[in-house]
Structure 1
Amino acid sequence: MKKQLVVVTGGSGFIAVHIILQLLQQGYAVRTTVRDLAKTALIKEMLTNGGWTDFQDLSVVVADLIHAQNWDQVMVDADYAIHVASPTPTLNFKDESEMIQPAIHGVLYVLQAASKAHVKRVVLTSAYGAIFAGHRNRTTPFTEDVWSDLTAKGVHPYQKSKTLSEQAAWDFMDQDHSGMTLATVNPVAVMGPVLAADYSHSNIQIYDMLMGNTKVLPKVDSGYVDVRDVASLHLLAMTRPEAAGQRFLATTGETYSMLDVANILRTAYPDFAARLPTKTVPTTVLKAAAKANPMLRMVASVAGTYAETSAKKAKTVLGWQPRPAKDAILATAQSMLDLGIVTQ
């Protein structure tokens, strides 16, 4: 019997490779896209580190979010598509359109090609950034019903790119008559096992803390979720009928400050205690520094903001059960130690 084929975009990414791993483990064939075929070796290295060494049901093809070509061929014979690839935060950009336009264009190239190929469902990896940004006086947990307010002052272009690209996807679906359905997954900060030295921006804070690179911490609160649970939520969103037309926050519902994260690491890894930060920087000082240093603008834009989230929808609609946020944070640290990324 022919295996169902799932297209996963951006296969060398942190979330994408965990999705590919779970798809292969569950008996799907996977076709994944990269901008450069040289990434194939990295994808196989990460899957091997994740415990999977049989690549006969995996194919790697070239497609780029900033070019329309190849996407039609990518989707041929696909049953499902999971669109994970997106421009990662460029902290030092000249113009915000550098981040926003490729995200919107990429979503539309993927959806147009998927629609032509009669793909059953597309799952889009959106972000918590499409939900929380611009809401300054929030006092109740964020849910999937909320959209970022892009008219508010100080919304970072990364959050704009996530919001506008997800909105473009839903607008496309309003006009699409192919029978294809869409679901989105909106993760908070994604932690969990890194599978190679090439890992995502959300894990850099753990590396920097353990290596003693972070001397003071911004007053930033965040939800944290394990990448393995983010991957499993994508698979539920892909296969469950009730996920069609729905957004799902990938969160445990817990919120930690960055100092809380440092303290979790301090308790678990006492040998690293001397390197781990103990002090926070006042938000007013951080915002003033960000005016002169573009690299600080993204963190300054979220410092001091409310960050409580609800995990109710994914749990009740899809039966999703994420592990605790603390376990996700410690899994990141342990994997970095195991792979020799973090050293004593």
Structure 2
Amino acid sequence: MQNERVLVLVTGGSGYIAINIILQLLEKGYAVRATLRNMTRQNEVKTMLRNGGLSNFSDLSFVQADLSSDDGWQAAMQNVTYVMHVASPTPATTTQTNDEIIQPAVDGVLRVYQAAKLAGVKRIVLTSAFGAVGMGTTKSGPYTEEDWTDISNTKHPYQISKTAAERAAWQFIAEHGENMEMTAINPVGVMGPILGKDFSHSNQTVRQMLSGEMRRVPKLSSGYVDVRDVATLHILAMENPVANGERFLATTGETLSMVEVASILKKHFGAKAEKVSTKEIPNWLLRLLAHLGSSSQLKMVGTLLGKNMTTTNQKAVTLLGWHPRSAETAIVATAQGLLDQQIV
């Protein structure tokens, strides 16, 4: 690795957003060190990067580190100028208690921040979520970066964990940060190209629609954003002095219902979208199924029925000059990727 290149540590290097960040950092001439929980995934990461158009891996290295352990983090931070903290602990799907999701998320953030502080890192860009902005509250207008999820009124542990982790990060900076800077990025539903088998929760919606698993669509609305634009926003937030101490919603500013998402798929994919349903499931029935069932996804959907999910990207556009693709472009790219990778 060439020493004169600025070194950026990207945590959770095999993840959907992380892969796109690594791709763009390398294209911009940064050196990247990516953390992996399991070093056997190095070739898989390189394959995804190759699928994204990368051919030169000379400025990419890997290091083993896990958010649940102190091991490896000090070594990971050596000579690092910036940290993209994208990784998030992935609890077992059988998780019973909120603490099994929430506490590891908080501990993981503090572990990374403490190691970064000791190593003299200049700035951390934290990948948070809309789940830390707009849950447990009611609002008539669009959600902005000023808004915070009310965890006392939020049922889903994932959203509580994202909120608690981001709050812990800001608190660490306020109390121990000294010269270390921080920015948080809060994406809505992340769509876009799929470069391998590792993709986002939001992509699962499109997969379920295309496969015919989703026989009726919930009456839900959501914001969407392309993963390539989420990666670009992380880098703008890393490079730009005005981003220090700020949060940025990663959203196109559009809000689409699930029926509108289904209609986009039908419009663009014809026969390949023949299993996509545009029939809605009544709210009372979905609430009943969420109450009776054990699926965490269904329970989460149940908490979002009738919720205002409108967002604005004015801050990122104005302060950082960010210009995302349309939600439709992102959704079409997801579907194309699922088809190309033969996931559907």
Does the alignment reach a TM-score above 0.5? yes
Distance 1:42 1:93 in 2: 27
Native 8 Å contact 1:218 1:281 kept in 2: yes
In the other structure, the counterpart of 1:123 is 125
How far off its partner does 1:274 sit? 2.6
How far off its partner does 1:256 sit? 0.4
Matches for 1:88-103 after TM superposition, within 5 Å: 88=90, 92-103=94-105
Distance 2:91 2:204 in 1: 13
In the other structure, the counterpart of 1:85 is 87
Distance 2:201 2:8 in 1: 25
Matches for 1:212-227 after TM superposition, within 5 Å: 212-227=212-227
In the other structure, the counterpart of 1:19 is 21
In the other structure, the counterpart of 1:165 is 165
Higher alpha-carbon deviation: 209-218 or 164-173: 209-218
How far off its partner does 1:60 sit? 0.9
Per-residue Cα deviation, 1:143-188 (whole angstroms, up to 9, x for no partner): 0000001121x52100000000000000000112441100000000
In the other structure, the counterpart of 2:8 is 6
In the other structure, the counterpart of 1:113 is 115
Q: Which runs of 4+ in 1 moved over 6 A?
A: none
Distance 2:163 2:11 in 1: 19
How far off its partner does 1:41 sit? 1.1
Native 8 Å contact 2:89 2:108 kept in 1: no
Native 8 Å contact 1:91 1:294 kept in 2: no
Native 8 Å contact 1:9 1:85 kept in 2: yes
Output the amino acid matched with 1:133: M
Native 8 Å contact 1:7 1:75 kept in 2: yes
**Across the two proteins, how many residue pairs are aligned to each other?**
340
TM-score by length of 1: 0.96
Distance 1:90 1:277 in 2: 31
Matched, 1:175 2:178: no
How far off its partner does 1:213 sit? 1.4
Matches for 1:122-201 after TM superposition, within 5 Å: 122-135=124-137, 137-152=138-153, 154-201=154-201
In the other structure, the counterpart of 2:316 is 314
Distance 2:94 2:284 in 1: 21
Equivalent position SS for 1:269: helix
Matches for 1:257-296 after TM superposition, within 5 Å: 257-295=257-295, 296=298
Native 8 Å contact 1:254 1:325 kept in 2: yes
Per-residue Cα deviation, 1:82-102 (whole angstroms, up to 9, x for no partner): 000013576542111111111
Over 3 Å counting, the alpha-carbon distance change for 1:97 and 1:302 in structure 2 is: same
Output the amino acid matched with 1:17: I
How far off its partner does 1:198 sit? 2.7
In the other structure, the counterpart of 1:230 is 230
Per-residue Cα deviation, 1:9-57 (whole angstroms, up to 9, x for no partner): 0000000000000000000000011110011111001000000021111
In the other structure, the counterpart of 1:45 is 47
Native 8 Å contact 2:191 2:200 kept in 1: no
Matched, 1:335 2:340: no
Native 8 Å contact 2:125 2:238 kept in 1: yes
How far off its partner does 1:290 sit? 1.1
Native 8 Å contact 1:49 1:195 kept in 2: yes
Distance 1:177 1:299 in 2: 37
Aligned residues: percent identity?
A: 50
Per-residue Cα deviation, 1:106-135 (whole angstroms, up to 9, x for no partner): 110111011111111000000000001101
Aligned residues: CA RMSD: 1.3
Higher alpha-carbon deviation: 14-23 or 207-216: 207-216
In the other structure, the counterpart of 1:75 is 77
Q: Tell me, which stretches of 5 or more residues in structure 2 are unaligned?
A: none
Output the amino acid matched with 1:59: S
Native 8 Å contact 1:133 1:155 kept in 2: no
Distance 2:112 2:23 in 1: 21
Per-residue Cα deviation, 1:244-269 (whole angstroms, up to 9, x for no partner): 00000000000001111000000111
How far off its partner does 1:69 sit? 1.8
Output the amino acid matched with 1:147: W
Native 8 Å contact 1:116 1:178 kept in 2: no
Distance 1:189 1:9 in 2: 20
